[in-house]
């Protein structure tokens, strides 16, 4: 066994997880079961990534770095409900200016990455009230 694997096992043991003990396995945590976690998030990892969806619900969350807006969208391309966090500065700035509401359709695309800052194109199609 290498020094690195010895160190990793020691760290797991200190955290209460014994590497060879199924009772202490990280995979037994009910919050880590894939079906119980929200893996249907919208992500913008590469230029060209986009979503087009109807806003179903909006909420403000207290995140690690302050408040962040969370949107529940019905993705019109995949025909499924997805969630999106508007944590990127440019994305939130544009959404704040456009002020989409529940029922509106948003189209968001990552158009550029400048020094790790994501730049977005945001369009809102407002539902007539």
Rounded mean pLDDT for each run of 10 residues along the chain, 129 residues in total = 60 52 62 57 93 96 85 95 93 95 97 93 89
Taking CA 67 as the corner, what is the angle to CA 61 and CA 72, rounded to the nearest 5 degrees? 40
Tell me, yes or no, whether 17 and 52 share the same domain: no
CATH number at residue 71: 2.40.50.360
Predicted local confidence at residue 19, as pLDDT: 46
Token pair listed for 119: 């730049």
Provide the number of structural domains found in the chain: 2
Tell me, yes or no, whether 63 and 100 share the same domain: yes
Predicted local confidence at residue 93, as pLDDT: 95
pTM over 0.85: no
Taking CA 33 as the corner, what is the angle to CA 41 and CA 67, rounded to the nearest 5 degrees? 40
Predicted local confidence at residue 60, as pLDDT: 92
Containing structural domain, residue 16: 1-37
Tell me, yes or no, whether 61 and 15 share the same domain: no
Tell me, yes or no, whether 22 and 78 share the same domain: no
Q: In DSSP terms, which residues pair with 117 in a beta bridge?
A: 114
| Residue (of 53, 84, 82) closest to 71 by Cα position | 84
| Residue (of 112, 110, 44, 54) closest to 78 by Cα position | 54
Predicted local confidence at residue 114, as pLDDT: 92
Predicted local confidence at residue 38, as pLDDT: 55
Tell me, yes or no, whether 32 and 45 share the same domain: no
Tell me, yes or no, whether 102 and 49 share the same domain: yes
Tell me, yes or no, whether 50 and 21 share the same domain: no
């Amino acid at each position: 066994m290498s020094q690195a694997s010895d160190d990793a096992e020691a760290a797991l043991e200190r955290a209460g997880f014994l590497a060879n003990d199924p009772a202490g396995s990280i995979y037994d945590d009910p919050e880590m079961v894939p079906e119980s976690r929200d893996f249907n998030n919208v992500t913008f990892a590469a230029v060209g990534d986009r979503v087009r969806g109807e806003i179903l619900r909006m909420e403000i969350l207290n995140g690690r770095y302050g408040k962040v807006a969370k949107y529940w969208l019905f993705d019109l391309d995949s025909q499924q409900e997805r969630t999106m966090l508007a944590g990127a500065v440019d994305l939130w700035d544009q959404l704040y200016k456009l002020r989409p509401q529940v029922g509106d359709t948003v189209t968001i695309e990552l158009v550029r990455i400048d020094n790790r800052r994501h730049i977005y194109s945001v369009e809102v199609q407002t539902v007539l009230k």
